[in-house]
Structure 1
Amino acid sequence: EGPLADLCVEEDIGVITYFSLAAGFLTGKYRSNADTEGRAREGRVSKYLDDKGLRILAALDKVSAEAGAAPAEISLAWLLRKKGVTAPIASATNLSQLESLAKSATLALSNDAMALLDQAGA
């Protein structure tokens, strides 16, 4: 993000993103502090539960509904279309999650969907 991402694009340096799903936040699983209480990811996820994070979730929900895809799939597909991103790193704890994550590689997001997600995260 920001100047470092711009530099990588300018210098043609590929970026492999870490925590591509923001510790699970971008899956839509965590929508309030109550959703994180007592969970191992509580500290990592709670920082995203602010106005910006909720805007991002709302945009993800809209694009997910339009595309018929899970929020995690949309999030990774968005990342894959960003200049400079070589590959996002995401983890799965079961086969259905892995299959869902793999779908993101072939998911085509419209320019409108990309713009909506970009605006939400700005």
Structure 2
Amino acid sequence: MPKKIIFSEKAPAPIGPYSQAVMVNDTLYVSGQIAFEESQVGDVKTEAKQVMENIGHILAAAGLTYAHIVKSSIFLKNMDTFTMVNEVYGSYFENEPPARETVQVAKLPKDVNVEISVIAVS
């Protein structure tokens, strides 16, 4: 099972021993993305937009688009922000949105408010 590491200079570099994304056959596994600049952290809508842009850059590095996403996982520091994050997230999927779960967690890396990971298929 050959795997290919996918990396985009436009998305944040990993902060640990993991890759931004890994392609296996026709499936791309994108690691959880967060807002990576302090100026983007604090307003959950700003963070969610940056996270989705990070994901878009990684998808593009693999030759894919948001339309290729089949599964998303959203992690929120506070479920009360669900509606705001959902509004931003939903704007990236005009038709046939992917399967998804959204969960509240106790803490996220760098104390951000939202982290999103995706699986895409070419």
What TM-score, normalized by structure 1, do the two folds share? 0.34
What TM-score, normalized by structure 2, do the two folds share? 0.34
Structure with the greater alpha carbon radius of gyration:
1
- Where is the strand percentage greater, Structure 1 or Structure 2? 2
